Amino acid sequence: MSLAALPALLARDLRLAVRHGGESLMPLFFLFAVLILVPLGVGPGPNLLASIAPGMVWVAALLASLLALENLFRPDFEDGTLEQWWLGHLPVTGLVLIRLLSHWLITGLPVIIFAPLAAQMLYLPDQALGVLLLSLLIGTPILSLVGGLAAALTLGTNRGSVLLSILVFPLVVPVLIFATGAVSAAADGFSPRAHLGLLAALLVLALTLVPLAISAALRLNIE
Amino acid sequence: MIPEFEYAIYVWSSYGIFAVVIAWQIVQPVLYRRRLMAELREELALQSGDYNDPNS
Amino acid sequence: MIWKTIKVGFHRLGSPASFYRFSTLVSPWLWAGFALCTAIGIYYALYVVPPDYQQSDSFRILYVHVPSAWQAMAGYVVMSILAAIALIWRIRMTEIMAMMCAPIGAAFTAICLATGSIWGRPMWGTWWEWDARLTSMLVLLFIYLGIMGLYAAFDDRRKGARVACILILVGLVNIPIIHFSVEWWTTLHQGKTIRIFGESSMHYSMMPPLIWMTIAVKLMFGAALLDRSRNELLTQDRRKGWVQKKLKSQGVS
């Protein structure tokens, strides 16, 4: 079995994202829109902003990952490419993982890259910055996995987008809790290891089970 | 008859919520079934030809 | 021999017509049992049991709060088992029953959250606290609502049911989190005081109403599940032969 086609799928997804240009920059714009609106909304006091900074960055990351979910599988579903996934010789879970990886590269990675800037804008204490980046690095893939699952489940419905966010919300609550818990602990000078460990455990759990659930859901939807 | 408690409002409102939600669980299937049966009866009448059109 | 009878009976329940007959027969008895157990339970809970020395009378909320919480979780486990059966063996009746568990489970979760919040007001001095158990229970409510929404969003009921079954199995990870939340994290919500095995830290005089209410709520779950499944079955099969035959033979009642 040749797996050479997997990088090709990744390259195609990324090329499509780049050629859509503005659309793939939306998560970043969104991140900064949230980060600019928050100080204007709650007032620019450094203490208040510092204490809500981890939550704000994380909520922005979550919303950014929600943005691109609607079209994660839908175009392929509508033009029939998705059915080819089952006809080809490649393992479907592998294809699913590749698709999720490209989603993460488009929505998760830009957020991580610009997180230091966001942290500065919200006066996050310097000792918490490393933990924030680490928590984003571990946590945003979970967001992509869970979001991908919701996208796959709602594929056969015609009013997916509202349902999509309702499905994603309860499943990402633990991620949000542990990630912001880690950053807050670090900001207060405690060890963030327990939170980060739990977050990593969630990632492992999601990485093992979610691709299977996604391929089962896609399978049901193309039947 | 009704016992008077120290935290009466809290206790009674809890039992009230319980009663209301459970009652809805009992009533909902009955109402649904009644509506469904009316629809089915209408369809059956339409098929067999003895349907009295209320609008005519 | 007995085993075989049970097995055949179980398989027969998979057929819509037999399930319809079975549920029509059994559900009134479950409702009657529920009414009896609730009457006894509430009588004990409000009249017989003496006030708690620390919480005074407010602990009486326990007798609706705890059984609902247990049933909200037990209902999810039942739903997951049905969903697993539906996905593996593709038995249509279990698909329908799994889907019909969701609104009942959501109702119990809502009762649990509402009564817990009312209980928290005099005891903790707050309506709501973002602690692990309360949050995970709220998440459970949204998972239930998500399952209902997902099922309703599909035009093809069977496809909707199967897709929602996958979501049910994914959401199952929340159940252990709720159960152990009071042990894993130090929270405002009190720890486990009632144990089936070993010593309960609850006084034995407080136990009988809890047992009655728990049984009552279980019977009610079963009764409501049968009623709802029967309705859903009738809606889906309204054009099928067995429904038409039933309608014609017994008139429409």
Q: What is the reported pLDDT for C253?
A: 47
Of the candidates A119, A137, A134, A141, which has an alpha carbon nearest to the alpha carbon of residue A192? Answer: A134
| Domain-located, residue C178 | yes
Is some CB atom of chain B closer than 8 A to the CB atom of C201? Answer: no
CB pairs under 8 A between B and C: 90
DSSP category for residue A45: -
C252: alpha, beta or left? (left if phi > 0; alpha if psi -120 to 50): beta
Domain residue limits at A144: 25-222
Let me know: does C16 contact C92? Beta carbons within 8 Å: yes
Question: CA distances (Å), A128 to each of A12, B21, C190, in order?
Answer: 37, 46, 32
Is the pLDDT reported for residue B39 higher than 50? yes
Let me know: does A60 contact A27? Beta carbons within 8 Å: no
Instruction: Please state, in angstroms and rounded to a whole number, the distance separating the CA atoms of residues A181 and A112.
Output: 18
Of the candidates A64, A66, A59, A199, which has an alpha carbon nearest to the alpha carbon of residue A131? Answer: A199
| Domain-located, residue A194 | yes
Domain residue limits at C116: 61-189+204-235
Q: What is the reported pLDDT for C114?
A: 92
Q: What three-state secondary structure class fits C52?
A: strand
All residues of chain A having their beta carbon less than 8 Å from the beta carbon of residue C139 are 170, 173
The CA distance from A175 to the nearest CA of chain C, in Å, is 13
C198: alpha, beta or left? (left if phi > 0; alpha if psi -120 to 50): left
Structure token digits, residue A127: 């000792």
Q: What is the reported pLDDT for C196?
A: 54
Are chains B and A in contact at 3+ CB pairs closer than 8 Å?
no
Q: What three-state secondary structure class fits A80?
A: coil
Of the candidates A148, A141, A140, A139, which has an alpha carbon nearest to the alpha carbon of residue A93? Answer: A148
Q: What is the reported pLDDT for C59?
A: 79
Give the CA angle between residues C22, C28, C33 to the nearest 5°.
120
**Cβ–Cβ gap C64/B18 under 8 Å:** yes
Rounded-to-10 torsion of CA A91, A172, A176, A69: 70
Structure token digits, residue C230: 């029967």
Q: What is the reported pLDDT for A177?
A: 85
The three state secondary structure string of chain B is: CCCCCCCHHHHHHHHHHHHHHHHHHHHHHHHHHHHHHHHHHHHHHHHHCCCCCCCC
The CA distance from A160 to the nearest CA of chain C, in Å, is 8
Q: What three-state secondary structure class fits C54?
A: coil
pLDDT in tens for each of the 223 residues of chain A?
A: 567 778 888 888 888 887 877 777 777 788 888 888 888 888 778 788 888 888 888 888 888 888 778 888 888 888 888 888 888 888 888 889 999 998 898 888 888 888 888 888 888 888 888 899 999 999 999 999 999 999 999 988 876 678 888 888 888 888 888 888 888 888 888 888 888 998 999 999 999 999 999 999 998 888 7
Q: What is the reported pLDDT for C141?
A: 94
Is the pLDDT reported for residue B32 higher than 90? yes
Contacts of C22 (CB under 8 A, 6+ apart): C13
| Domain-located, residue C172 | yes
pLDDT in tens for each of the 253 residues of chain C?
A: 788 888 787 777 778 888 888 898 999 999 999 999 999 998 888 887 777 666 677 778 888 899 999 999 999 999 999 999 999 988 889 999 999 999 999 999 999 999 988 888 887 777 777 777 888 889 999 999 999 999 999 888 888 999 999 999 998 988 888 777 766 665 667 666 665 555 556 666 778 888 999 999 999 999 999 999 999 998 888 888 888 888 777 655 4
Give chain B's largest Cα–Cα span: 65
Nearest to C65 among B3, B14, B44 (CB): B14
Instruction: Please state, in angstroms and rounded to a whole number, the distance separating the CA atoms of residues C98 and C79.
Output: 5
Is some CB atom of chain C closer than 8 A to the CB atom of B15? Answer: yes
Q: What is the reported pLDDT for C192?
A: 62
Domain count, chain A: 1
- In C, what residues contact A, Cβ < 8 A? 87, 135, 139-140, 142-143, 145-146, 149-150, 153-154, 156, 159-160, 162-164, 166-167, 169-171, 173-174, 177
Domain count, chain C: 1
Buried b (16+ CB within 10 A) or exposed e, C19-48: bbebbeeebeebbebbeebbebbbebbbee
All residues of chain C having their beta carbon less than 8 Å from the beta carbon of residue A218 are none
| Domain-located, residue C46 | no
At A151-165, the pLDDT tens digits run 999 988 876 678 888
All residues of chain C having their beta carbon less than 8 Å from the beta carbon of residue A205 are 173
Q: Which chains touch B (3 or more CB pairs under 8 A)?
A: C
Q: Which class for C50: exposed (0-12), middle (13-18), buried (19 or more C-beta within 10 A)? A: exposed
Contacts of C155 (CB under 8 A, 6+ apart): none
What's the alpha-carbon Rg for chain B, to the nearest Å? 22
At A125-141, the pLDDT tens digits run 888 888 999 999 999 99
Mutate to test the interface with C, among A154, A167, A222 (most CBs of C within 10 A): A167
Let me know: does C74 contact C112? Beta carbons within 8 Å: no
Each domain of chain B, given as residue ranges in start order, spans 9-45
- In A, what residues contact C, Cβ < 8 A? 149, 153-154, 156-160, 163, 166-167, 169-171, 173-174, 177, 205, 209-210, 213, 216-217, 220-221, 223
Question: C197 φ, ψ to 5°?
Answer: -105, 130
Q: What is the reported pLDDT for B41?
A: 82
Q: Which residue of A has its CA nearest to C159?
A: A220
**Cβ–Cβ gap B11/C57 under 8 Å:** yes
Of the candidates A126, A140, A134, which has an alpha carbon nearest to the alpha carbon of residue A193? Answer: A134
Q: Which amino acid is at C95?
A: E
| Domain-located, residue A81 | yes
Instruction: Please state, in angstroms and rounded to a whole number, the distance separating the CA atoms of residues A190 and A183.
Output: 10
